[in-house]
Amino acid sequence: MRALVVEQLLPDYAGCVVKDLPTPEPGPGEVRIKVRAAAVNFPDLMQTRGEHQHKPALPFVGGLELAGEVDKLGGGVTGFAVGDPVVSGGRGGFAEYAILPASALRRKPDRLSFAQAAGYPVAYLTAYVALKRAADAQPGEWVLVHGAAGGVGLAAVDYAKILGCKVIAASASDEKLAVIQREYDVDAVVNVTQGFRERVKELTGGRGADVIYDPVGGDVFDESIRCIAFGGRILSIGFTSGRLPVLPVNIALIKGFSVHGVRAGEYGRQFPEKGRENNEAIWKLAEDGLVKPRVDAEYPLEAWRDAFETLAQRKVVGKTIIRPDL
């Protein structure tokens, strides 16, 4: 099979190469998946440099989210048949075939394409844990979503609208904001390049945003604490800006807001029953056709570098997908 292999941890993906590998065989309890689509996420890029907290042993095949069809069953596997469309997270998506435990698979909802399904779990689980579990966002509340064009940001925009919140989508690109406003019917958009504090206050009648969803960090976080409502909730999702912000606790004291760190996967590991509930909830949203996961572009495996660059250069509105089957 053809696979994108990380052979060395180097800048600019210099340690990555597409090469032929033996097609793997599933062991007991495992399933071989013919990969139809694999999402590209920032952790995938970070792993090629050894900068992610999870560091697989070299060499390894990346691709943390995938969708495809059951190709072969290992011993003792029940509940799946060859040809079943499935989705999973874990490893090995940037290859023509992937081996995964049967317990890690879920049937692909009919309403989602393979590309949509591949980019769905991480983004929407993050949005759900952040907005539902951590913030308990209520209908009518103002939710400011930073990085709204990215995968986790756009999922938050989509889910906040499902919750009945009033959504302000924030990005540094007017072109991306136009796409979001057109396709997701947000209540307002704001370009953060010239500052956003006063605009958010204006939109919210001077109160500020009740919930701020922040996967960016850095300067965005610094300004967000200036336009959070009293009693509001800031959701710290990540730091794509590259700078870890520092919270002046006197401002939190005066304004009475809280900061919640959100790691959706770790939440499920710490609270397994709630983790199962979270996963059931997001997949039901997909099965009911309530969500609109957006695929920005699809690339064949040989064009993996172009796919990575769309993410690294912030060109994406939604998800970039690698298609090993092309």
- pLDDT for res 299: 98
Question: Which domains are delineated in the chain?
Answer: 2-120+293-323 (3.90.180.10), 123-266 (3.40.50.720)
Distance CA 178, CA 158 (A): 15
Would you tell me the crossing angle of helices 151-162 and 121-128 to the nearest 10 degrees?
Answer: 50
- pLDDT for res 91: 85
Distance CA 229, CA 226 (A): 9
For residue 101, cis peptide bond before it (omega within 30 degrees of 0): no
Which stretch of DSSP H or E encloses residue 114?
Answer: helix 114-118
Contacts 24+ apart (CB under 8 A), 196-200: 196/144, 196/170, 196/223, 196/227, 197/223, 197/226, 197/227, 198/227, 200/144, 200/168, 200/227
Distance CA 184, CA 248 (A): 34
- pLDDT for res 51: 87
Per-residue pLDDT of the chain in tens (326 residues, 90 and over written 9): 999 999 999 999 999 999 999 999 999 999 999 999 999 998 899 999 998 878 899 999 999 999 999 999 999 999 999 999 999 987 899 999 999 999 999 999 999 999 999 999 999 999 999 999 999 999 999 999 999 999 999 999 999 999 999 999 999 999 999 999 999 999 999 999 989 999 999 999 999 999 999 999 999 999 999 999 999 999 999 888 889 999 999 999 999 999 999 999 899 999 999 999 999 999 999 999 999 999 999 999 999 999 999 999 989 999 999 999 99
Q: Answer for the pair 101, 26: CB distance below 8 angstroms, yes or no.
A: no
Q: Residue 230, CB half-sphere, CA atoms under 13 Å: how many?
A: 4
Q: Which two tokens stand for residue 1?
A: 């099979």
**Structure pTM?**
0.93
DSSP letter (8 states) at residue 58: S
Q: Which two tokens stand for residue 302?
A: 């040989």
Q: Helix or strand or coil: residue 2?
A: strand
Distance CA 234, CA 256 (A): 11
- DSSP-assigned letters across all residues of 11-48: GGGTTEEEEE-PPP---TTEEEEEEEEEEE-HHHHHHT
Nearest CA among 98, 91, 123, 173 for reference residue 295 = 123
Q: Helix or strand or coil: residue 124?
A: helix
- pLDDT for res 25: 97
Distance CA 262, CA 154 (A): 16
Q: Answer for the pair 153, 216: CB distance below 8 angstroms, yes or no.
A: no
